[in-house]
Amino acid sequence: MWKTPVVVFTSLSLLLSLSCAGDVKSRSCSDVRQAFTTKGFSLHNVPHQEIQGEHLRVCSQGYTCCTSDMEDRLGQQSKLDFEKLVDKSSHTIRTVFTSRHKKFDEFFLELLDNSEKSLNDMFVRTYGKLYTHNSEMFEDLFSELKRYYTGGNVNLEEVLNDFWSRLLERMFQLLNSHYTFTDDYLECISKYTDQLKPFGDVPRKLKAQVTKAFIAARSFVQGLMVGREVANRVAKVNISPGCSKALTKMLFCPYCGGMPGLRPCANYCQNVMRGCLANQADLDPEWNLFIDAMLLVADRLAGPFNIEAVMDPIDVKISEAIMTMQDNSIQVSTKVFQGCGHPKPAGMGRSARGISDVFNSRFRPYSPEERPTTAAGTSMDRLVIDIKDKLRESKRFWSSLPDSICAEDTVTDPDEEQCWNSHTNGRYFPEVVKDGLTNQLNNPEVEVDITRPDTFIRQQIMTLRVMTNKLRNAYNGKDVYFQDSSDEESGSGSGSGFTTEPEVIHTEPPMVEADKSGPQPTAGAGHGQEPSLRLLVCVLALTALVLCWR
C-alpha cells in the first residue's frame, strides 16, 4: 500500500532535480552581454544563455558565457587595460622629469643669454669701441660655454685658458699701442701668463667656479633627460605569454563566469602585478642610486656650484681682471720685454693717448640682491628645491608600482570576502610574493622564467649606471670626459664618499704555464729541485733495504 506514494515522491524529486538542472543550464548571460557592449565589443556570437566551456583555454571550462572568440578578445583587452594602468600609474613620474628638464633647461639657457647681454651692455658703456672691436672673444666664450652645456665635446679648461690668453694679447697691444707685435711675439707673451699673473687671481678663481658649476649643471640636466627617457621606455611594458594569461584570468574570467561586476581581490592583484612587472622592479636599485646622485648634485647647484652666483657677476669679475692688468701694465710690459725682447716701434700715426683713461672706469660692487628675474620665474635655489622634492618622491617607484596599480578602486575590491580570487567569489588565500624577478619562482598566478631577464630593462639599468657615474664625478667638480688637473680643484667634495676619478679597469695578460720541456732559469732552481732529489735518494735506499731483507 506504500508503493503509490513512493512512486509519486520519487517522480516529484526527479522533476524537481531536472527543473533545477534546467535552471543551471539556462542561466542568463544578459549582464555579460551588457558589459561586452560597454567595452565596445560586438555582440555577435555572444551567447544569451550559458554554454559548456570545454573550448576555453584560460578561464574555467564549466558553464560559461564566453566563446573561444570572446576569450581571445578579452585577452587582447586585458593587455590594453594593463598597459593603460601602467601608463596611468607612471604618468606623474614621467611628467615630473619632462617638465623639470624643460624648466631647468630654459632657466639655464636664459641665464647664459642674460649674462652675455649684461656683459655686452656694461662693456659697451664702459669701453666703447675698444670693446666692440674686440667683442668676438667674449662672444666666443659664451658660445663655447653654451655648447658645452648642450652636450658639445668642449674642454672647459681649454676654453677659459684660451679666453684669458686672447684677452692678454689684445690688452697688451692696446696698452703698448706704440709698438708693433708679430704673431710670434704674441705667442711669446702667452707663455708668461702663469708667471706674470697679469689678471691677478681672477682667472684661477673664475675657472674653478665656472668649470664646477657648468659640469654640475650639464650633468644635472642630462640626468633629468635620462630619467625622463628611462621612465618613458620602462613604462611601455613587454607583456609575456604568462603575464597575458594571468591578466586575462584576473580581469575578465569573471565575465565568463557570469559575474562581470566582480573585481579581483587586492592580494590576488598584487601577485599578478608582481609577476608581470618583475623586471621593472629589478630596475629599482639602480634607479634609487641614480636619484641619490641627482639629489647630491642638486645640493651642489644650490650651494657651492650655484651657476647663478657665478654667471650673474661674471662681467664684474672680468672687468676687475682688466683693471688689475691696467694697474700692473708697466711691470707686466717690462717683464715681457725682458723675456721676449723689445718689439719694433709703431708708425707715427699710432698713439696710446686716451686708452688708459678708458680703463679708469670701475664698476660698482656686485650685490646678490640684484639677481635678475628670468622668464622661468625663479632663481636657481628655488628651482633646485622644487626638483629635489619631486626626485625624492620618485624613489622606490618601480618596486612599488604593483601596489600602486592594485590600490586603484577601479581595479580591485576592498572587500576581501567578496572579490574575485581567480576561481570564484571569495577570499584569496595564497601569500603575496616579494618583488623582483628571482622572487617569482613561487608566484602562484604568473608563470615567469627567472632565468631570462628582460634585455631591454637591463639596457636601461646600464644607462642609469653610466649616468650615475657622471653625476658622482660632477658632484666632485670633475668632468667624466675632461678631468681638471689644476691644484685648486683637488680635494673638492671631500667627505662625499665618491671617488673623484672614473673607475679604471686594469687588464693584464693571462698567466701562461711555463714550458717545462725548455731550459729553466738557474736562479732559485736548486731550491726547487733539492726536495725532489732527496725524495729520490730515500726511495732508492728504502728499496735496497727491502731487497736485503728478502
Q: pLDDT, tens digit, for every residue of 523-549?
A: 444 444 444 444 444 444 444 443 444
> What integer is the mean pLDDT of 132-158?
94
Q: Among residues 55, 81, 32, which one has the least CA distance to residue 254?
A: 32
**Which of the two residues, 6 and 419, has the higher pLDDT score?**
419
Residues 246 and 389: their CA atoms lie apart, in Å, by: 37
In this predicted structure, the answer to whether residue 396 has a pLDDT above a threshold of 70 is yes
What share of the chain in percent tops pLDDT 90? 56
Q: Which amino acid is at 443?
A: N
Q: Among residues 278, 276, 274, which one has the least CA distance to residue 431?
A: 274
Cell of 6: 513512493
Question: So what's the pLDDT on residue 378?
Answer: 56
Q: Bridge-partner residues for 64, per DSSP?
A: 51
> What integer is the mean pLDDT of 418-438?
94
How many Cβ atoms are within 10 Å of 41's Cβ, its own excluded?
A: 15
Band (pLDDT 50/70/90 cuts) for residue 347 is: low
Residues 438 and 442: their CA atoms lie apart, in Å, by: 9
**Segment (H or E) for 179:** strand 179-180
- Mean pLDDT across the chain: 81
Torsion angle of C-alpha atoms 473, 478, 481, 484, degrees rounded to 10:
-160
How buried is residue 377: exposed, middle or buried, by Cβ count under 10 Å (0-12/13-18/19+)?
exposed
pLDDT digits (tens, 9 = 90+) for 78-96: 999 999 999 999 999 999 9
Out of 13-22, 232-241, 364-373, give the one with best mean pLDDT: 232-241
> What integer is the mean pLDDT of 320-341?
90
Residues 510 and 121: their CA atoms lie apart, in Å, by: 64
In this predicted structure, the answer to whether residue 483 has a pLDDT above a threshold of 60 is no
Q: Among residues 487, 497, 492, which one has the least CA distance to residue 477?
A: 492
Residues 545 and 188: their CA atoms lie apart, in Å, by: 92
Instruction: Provide the whole-model pTM.
Output: 0.76
**How big is the CA angle at 17 (ends 23 and 63), to the nearest 5 degrees?**
40
Question: So what's the pLDDT on residue 348?
Answer: 54
Band (pLDDT 50/70/90 cuts) for residue 191 is: confident
Buried b (16+ CB within 10 A) or exposed e, 77-86: bbbebbeebb
> What integer is the mean pLDDT of 205-225?
96
Q: Among residues 104, 40, 43, which one has the least CA distance to residue 69?
A: 43
How many Cβ atoms are within 10 Å of 374's Cβ, its own excluded?
A: 19
Q: Which amino acid is at 435?
A: D
Task: For residue 521, give the 3-state DSSP assignment.
Answer: coil
In this predicted structure, the answer to whether residue 156 has a pLDDT above a threshold of 80 is yes
**Segment (H or E) for 345:** strand 344-345
Buried b (16+ CB within 10 A) or exposed e, 130-151: bbeebeeebeebbbbbbebbee
Task: For residue 432, give the 3-state DSSP assignment.
Answer: coil
In this predicted structure, the answer to whether residue 141 has a pLDDT above a threshold of 80 is yes
Task: For residue 385, give the 3-state DSSP assignment.
Answer: helix
Q: Among residues 328, 308, 318, which one has the least CA distance to residue 373?
A: 308
> What integer is the mean pLDDT of 158-180?
91
Phi, psi values for residue 63, rounded to 5°? -65, 135
Q: Bridge-partner residues for 264, per DSSP?
A: 420
In this predicted structure, the answer to whether residue 3 has a pLDDT above a threshold of 70 is no
Strand spans (E) along 15-121: 51-52, 63-64
Widest pairwise Cα distance in the chain: 154
Band (pLDDT 50/70/90 cuts) for residue 316 is: very high
Band (pLDDT 50/70/90 cuts) for residue 427 is: very high
Residues 101 and 418: their CA atoms lie apart, in Å, by: 45
Percentage helix, strand, coil for the chain under 3-state DSSP, each rounded to 5: 60, 5, 35
Residues 223 and 229: their CA atoms lie apart, in Å, by: 10
Q: Which of 52-56, 349-353, 403-407 has the lowest mean pLDDT?
A: 349-353
Which DSSP symbol is given to 511?
P
**Which of the two residues, 124 and 362, has the higher pLDDT score?**
124
Residues in CB range of 136: below 8 A, 6 or more apart: none
How many Cβ atoms are within 10 Å of 12's Cβ, its own excluded?
A: 10
Question: So what's the pLDDT on residue 20?
Answer: 39
In this predicted structure, the answer to whether residue 117 has a pLDDT above a threshold of 80 is yes
In this predicted structure, the answer to whether residue 26 has a pLDDT above a threshold of 90 is no
Contact at 8 Å (CB) between 238 and 456? yes
> What integer is the mean pLDDT of 468-496?
62
Q: Which amino acid is at 123?
A: F
Identify the residue whose cell numbers are 662672444. 139
Residues 63 and 85: their CA atoms lie apart, in Å, by: 30
Contact at 8 Å (CB) between 294 and 468? no
Q: Bridge-partner residues for 28, per DSSP?
A: 49
Number of helices followed by number of strands (H, E) in the chain: 23, 4
Residues 171 and 164: their CA atoms lie apart, in Å, by: 10
